[in-house]
Amino acid sequence: MMWNWWFWLCLALCTADQYRDEAVRIMNETPLIDGHNDLPWQILKKFNGQLQLSEANLYYLEGTHTNIPKLKTGFVGGQFWSAYVPCDTQNKDAVKRTLEQIDLIHRMCQTYPETFLCASSPADIRLAFQQKKVASLIGVEGGHSIDSSLGVLRAMYYLGVRYMTLTHNCNTPWADNWQVDTGNDKAQSHGLSEFGEEVVKEMNRLGVMIDLAHVSVATMEAVLSVSQAPVIFSHSSAYQLCPHRRNVPDHILQLVNKTRSLVMVNFYNQYVSCQKEANLSQVADHLDYIKNTAGPEAVGFGGDYDGVDDVPTGLQDVSGYPDLIAELLRRNWTETEVKNALAYNLLRVFDEVEQASSHSVLPNENFIEFSELQDTCRTSYGYQDYSQQDHSHQHRPGVLPVVLTLPLLYLWQP
């Protein structure tokens, strides 16, 4: 009887090692791309963004889910770092604060060039894979960061931003957030406003991925009908398994399949189990469910590390990814399905977003109506309804006088 027990125990341990070894082999070939990590926010809070402080050294950083050794142990080869600022910056200093977080991500690459390669294209990610570095991409978390300005959106694209979450936990003047679905917030746009559609179209033109994590279901539906390119949910899970309004309901998963879009599963316990505690197996359940409902090309990883406090047992930090991959292999995921989820699904969406972009088309110069903005601390230069101000010394917005245009055209001649 004792020998029988030992036999089954040894068999279980050997099998477990087999799946873990297979996960390591696969991840050596195809590193993981994660859709959302808030380490830059932690660096801001802990060190006011000062990377050169000795205690901010990313090789030895403590008290976070993420540091360089953990990334290497987790076989993370691509990371969308979140340029996040809270909703209370909206209509205040959101743009400034977001620019500082974008700058911080660039400084991470400059401070640790042996580890991080700042990336802004699928080709850059593939290059980072070849060089065994972490492709470091920028995602802006919350449309409030552009202050309802297509010009700011474009400027952030030029600085390397390659996805924007349309809302965080608050409405923008042009899109509704997920708390509308709970009744804790009032619908303003009932999905997308007319200007919200212009934001989506300009993101398509530029090649900025549209992220629908944090938005209301009506906003999801509106974007999926307007966007000419696939979209992502950078850190969301399956509503059917955990009915939290931050998760993706089944009818949206069907649209994700139809539009060749992508859901990157969130590890926050409240979105995994709808309880304070969760475990690795339950995260695998979400990955299974999305793969089976939306298709194997529609699933990825968006851990939300360093943006949440409670993460599942077995996935305490970014080093735990190989154990999750081993669990998927144990559940009979094929090597192709695993590699797709690790990297190729995101690369495919990124490629298609770039293919749908059109930089030969002139930028969208539409603007949101001034009446739709909170104007406590803002000026109204450029708007047509500011009759009380003296504009005799100003040119019309967007119009360059002919006297300046002709010399410039002469100078630009090849």
Q: What is the pLDDT along the chain (414 residues), one digit of tens a residue?
A: 555 555 555 455 556 689 999 999 999 999 999 999 999 999 999 999 999 999 999 999 999 999 999 999 999 999 999 999 999 999 999 999 999 999 999 999 999 999 999 999 999 999 999 999 999 999 999 999 999 999 999 999 999 999 999 999 999 999 999 999 999 999 999 999 999 999 999 999 999 999 999 999 999 999 999 999 999 999 999 999 999 999 999 999 999 999 999 999 999 999 999 999 999 999 999 999 999 999 999 999 999 999 999 999 999 999 999 999 999 999 999 999 999 999 999 999 999 999 999 999 999 999 999 889 876 678 888 886 543 445 444 333 343 333 334 343 333 344
C-alpha torsion sign, points 231, 206, 366, 86: positive
C-alpha torsion sign, points 303, 306, 308, 310: positive
Neighbours of 241 (CB within 10 A): 18
Choice among 34, 65, 124, 141 that is catalytic:
141
Q: Where are the alpha helices (DSSP H) in 215-277?
A: 217-226, 250-258, 269-272
Which domains, from first to last, does the chain contain? 19-361 (3.20.20.140)
- Tokens read off for 39: 């380490």
Neighbours of 281 (CB within 10 A): 14
CB of 92 within 8 A of CB of 86?
no
Reference 238, options 287, 310, 182; nearest CA is: 287
Choice among 304, 306, 327, 352 that is catalytic:
304
Q: How far apart are CA 336 and CA 8, in angstroms?
A: 30
> Active-site residue 304, yes or no?
yes
What are the angstrom distances between the C-alpha of 146 and each of 24, 106, 174, 291, 317? 40, 19, 12, 33, 31
pTM for the full model? 0.89
Q: How far apart are CA 398 and CA 57, in angstroms?
A: 46
Choice among 65, 235, 244, 286 that is catalytic:
235
> Active-site residue 38, yes or no?
yes
Choice among 168, 197, 286, 306 that is catalytic:
168
- Tokens read off for 406: 């002709």
Q: How far apart are CA 201 and CA 59, in angstroms?
A: 41
Q: How far apart are CA 174 and CA 189, in angstroms?
A: 6
Coil vs helix vs strand at 154:
helix
Choice among 147, 198, 211, 214 that is catalytic:
214
> Active-site residue 36, yes or no?
yes
CB of 98 within 8 A of CB of 156?
yes
According to DSSP, residue 249 is labeled P
- Tokens read off for 207: 């090649």
Q: How far apart are CA 297 and CA 295, in angstroms?
A: 5
For residue 42, give every residue at least 6 positions away whose Cβ sits within 8 Å of its Cβ, in sequence order, or none.
Answer: 64, 66, 306
> Active-site residue 214, yes or no?
yes
Reference 42, options 81, 90, 96; nearest CA is: 81
